[in-house]
Structure 1
């Protein structure tokens, strides 16, 4: 493949801008607050479920307490009625009076049992309401923290997005007019080589794999026409010759110093 040396150098500009864009994209995707937001989301889900369950429990216990209150009041009303009949002397038959007094004792015991149930429900309701208040406060605090994190993420990524957009524009300008076959090769290598498809040859070192080329490889490159695209023997990336490559001049018999 052939490409003018100036075109090959422009490919290095494209590579630099692509690398900068990759870095910005990585930073956008790994903003610390974004990770905290993801962790916060899991905590929020758990807290929301707990709040939901506690609200259901409080509602159920509230109904249960109201029913317990009604049960107590109903029995008390009956006891008051029966006691009033006894006190008023309305029951003349001794056996009937005896039965009524026995029933009043049963009602008294029944009221005691129902009041115990009522008290137990009240205690359970109070415990559930306290837990609900605590969980709701925790959830509100968590959501407020989440809003702060979202604001930070938006601010941070907004700045990075602006930088990325500028780099993308510069990259498009740098790549404009480059040979399609050269760009296609570069993009293929970039996809397979960790984002680096073209690297400079400086001081006999490949800028892609960072290995120093041996004298034989340097000699081959030195004898290759400047408009021929060469590849690194080690990493296979496009190797762009620069004024600092350390290549011997053709016919000098030297590999460069």
Structure 2
């Protein structure tokens, strides 16, 4: 049986990449579960590491610390989200099905789906799968991620592991997007700042802006596709020798 992880607040700071001061602030705000006390020393575990990740993801999505605390409290207690979100409790029409942008999903369905995983629904929101609308409804935030998540579950991956995979995928995509944006700033934006900012300069910047909004997706799809083909080909050759034609 695996031993329970016991971390001091300094250990927790090192493992999570946070400062001790920030973690103490999270504790004071009620964002983290209380530590297990042994004498005068508090010890933290995996649940605290998971909760820190959730808090950081929610903050990245523009939710304030107080908002994060109220959401986590609502999730933990299974309360309605109307008061948390500041919306009126109005009847919600039957939600449409399907993972399309903005598609509505009953909160009860998601609560049931993620009930076996600690902070499961909070992790799903933090990973960008869903976002709350009111006390009874969530909407699909990113259909592509929901589709991959469902495929992982269909393949027998546990919900806990699937959430980890989706969160990492979101992080990787965010990193790529930031890279392209940084390149755009270091080239097109800097060039425009050094220009006379005339009509022709504005037209050039506009064209470059249109390009950075569309080309990264095509470039990334092509490069990732080639890597996937290479890695999958290696797996097929290794695991199923002689079963598939060379290059299949």
Q: TM-score, normalised by structure 1?
A: 0.20
Greater Rg, structure 1 or structure 2?
Answer: 1
Higher relative contact order (Cα pairs below 8 Å, separated by 6+ residues): 1
Q: TM-score, normalised by structure 2?
A: 0.20
Hey, which of these two has a bigger chunk of helix by percent?
Answer: 1
